[in-house]
Amino acid sequence: MTGLVLRDARVEDAAATSDIVVEAGRITAVLPAGTPHPLGATDPQGAHETIDCAGRVVLPGFVEAHIHPDKAHLDGLRAPRGATLADAIAVTLDLKREFTHDDVRDRSRRVVESAILNGTTTLRAHPDVDPVAGTLGVEVLIELREQYRDFIDIQIVAFPQEGILRAPGTDKLLRLALAAGADVVGGCAYQEDSVEDCRRHVDLVLDLAAEHGVPADLHADFADDAGDPRQSMAEYVAEATRRRGLGGRVTLGHMTSLAGRPRRERMAVMRELAAAGVAVVPLPATDLHLGGRSDTRAVRRGVAPVRELWETGVVTATASNNIRNAFTPYGTGDLLDIALLLAQTGHLSGPADLRRVLRMVTYDAARVVGIAENYGVRVGAAADLVVLDTDRYDDIVLDRPERTHVIKAGRVVARTTRTRQLVNAPAA
C-alpha cells in the first residue's frame, strides 16, 4: 500500500467536499472532490487504498491531553470511604500497593484501545511515580507506547501523585522516569503540607523540565474555592514559568478553584496565565464528581471557568482524566462525551460555543501537547484523521457520531459500523 485517498470528504465545516490524498503518512493534497489526484504519479498501479467518505465530516484525530491509564478500571475493587479528592487519593494509594506489571498493563491497554476506537490519535498519559508504585506505570506505558506506535502517539508524564517533598525519594524517581523515557515531567502542586512546600514543588518540577528540555504538566488548584492557599498556585506557576522561559510548555490540569475566586481576581490570574504561556485543562468528569462534596445546598459545579479562559486568551483543552475509578467512576475514553459534558456544565451552547468546545479536544489539545505544527486536515500535516458518521459539523458535540474510520499516519487503525433504521416509517 503506497497511499490512501479519502474521497468525497467534508473537511471540518467546509460546504463542498474534497478528496484528501495521503502519502507516506502525510497529507499531500486536499482537492475538490473528483479532481484527478496526484497519487497516479507515485502510484501507477493504483495500489492505494480508497475510503469513500460519502460527504462525511473528516477531522484531525482527537487529542487526549490528560489521562491516567495505570489507574483506570479500578472501580468495584474497593469502595472509597467518601467521595472527596482526599478519599479518592487514599483508596487508590491502597490499591496501588497491589499493582502488578500485568495488571497495570491490561488496564492501561483497555484505555489505549478504547481511545483509538473513539478516534484519538495522540494521548498524554500521567502514570503515577512515587515510592509505592515506583516507576511501574512509566515502564508499562513505555512498553505500550512502543507496541501501539503505529496506532496512536503516547506521551508519558511522570506524575508525582503523592507529592514530592512529602513522599521522600520521589524526586529521584522522577529523574529515573525521565531517564527511562518519560516525555513530560508532571506535578501535583497541592499535595504538599504547606504553601512554601507547594512552591518548592512547582520549582522542582519546572527545574526538571528546564534541565531535561521537556514540557511540564501539573495538577493544580483542585478545590471548590481558593480558601486553602495551597489551592491557588496559578499565579506562582505563571511567574515561575516566565522566570525560566518555559512559556508554551507548561500546562495546569483541573484549576477548579479559579471559579471560586472573585471575578476581578480570577480574570487577572487568567491574564497572567495567558501572558506566561501556561495552558489550562479542565477535567469535568472528575471535577464534577469530586467537587462540591461539602456543600449541602446549591452544590457547586467545580469546573474551571471555561468561557473566561477563552476570553482571556488562555490555551484551554479538555480531557478524560480518569476512567472508572474513585476519581471518576465513569468514562469510555470518548472525548466527544467529555466535550458534551463540558458544554452542558459550562453554560456553553449554540454553534459558536460548540465549535470552540470541539477545538478543545482537537486543535487546542494539540497545542497543549505540543503537536500543533503537524496537526490539522491540511497539506503537510500528519495524516492522523477521524471520519465521523455525519455531514453536520455543528452537531458533532451534540450527536457524538460514530467514528467510521480512524487513521493514524495514513493507515486505517480502527473502523466502526453500526446500522440503525426506522422500520416501515411513514413517507415524508
Least distance from Zn ion to the Cβ atom of residue 87, Å: 16
Q: Which stretch binds Zn ion (CB under 5 A): 11-19, 56-64, 255-263, 313-321?
A: 313-321
Helix/strand/coil percent split, the chain, to 5 = 35, 20, 40
- The answer to whether 28 contacts Zn ion (rule: CB under 5 A) is no
Between 127 and 410, whose beta carbon lies closer to Zn ion?
127
Could you give the residue ranges of the DSSP H alpha helices within 30-100? Answer: 39-42, 85-96
Least distance from Zn ion to the Cβ atom of residue 253, Å: 5
Number of residues that bind Zn ion (CB under 5 A): 1
Taking CB atoms, the residue at the shortest distance from Zn ion is: 321
Least distance from Zn ion to the Cβ atom of residue 219, Å: 5
Least distance from Zn ion to the Cβ atom of residue 319, Å: 8
Q: What is the DSSP string of 206-263?
A: HHHHHHHT--EEEEE--SSSS-SGGG--HHHHHHHHHHHT-TTSEEEEE-GGGGGS-H
**One-letter amino acid identity for 102?**
D
Least distance from Zn ion to the Cβ atom of residue 254, Å: 7
Between 19 and 75, whose beta carbon lies closer to Zn ion?
75
Between 318 and 321, whose beta carbon lies closer to Zn ion?
321
Least distance from Zn ion to the Cβ atom of residue 428, Å: 49
Between 253 and 370, whose beta carbon lies closer to Zn ion?
253
The three-state secondary structure class of 409 is coil
- Give 22's contacts (C-beta < 8 A, 6+ positions apart): 3, 4, 5, 6, 28, 383, 407, 410
CA distance linking residue 422 with residue 250, whole number of Å: 50
The interface mask with Zn ion, positions 264-303, x = CB under 5 A, is: ----------------------------------------
Q: Which residue has the cell 474534497?
A: 18
Q: Which stretch binds Zn ion (CB under 5 A): 5-13, 19-27, 315-323, 347-355?
A: 315-323
What cell does 396 get? Answer: 458533532
What cell does 141 get? Answer: 506505558
Kindly identify the residues of this chain, within the stretch 316-345, that bind Zn ion according to CB under 5 A.
321
Q: For binding to Zn ion (CB under 5 A), which residues are involved?
A: 321
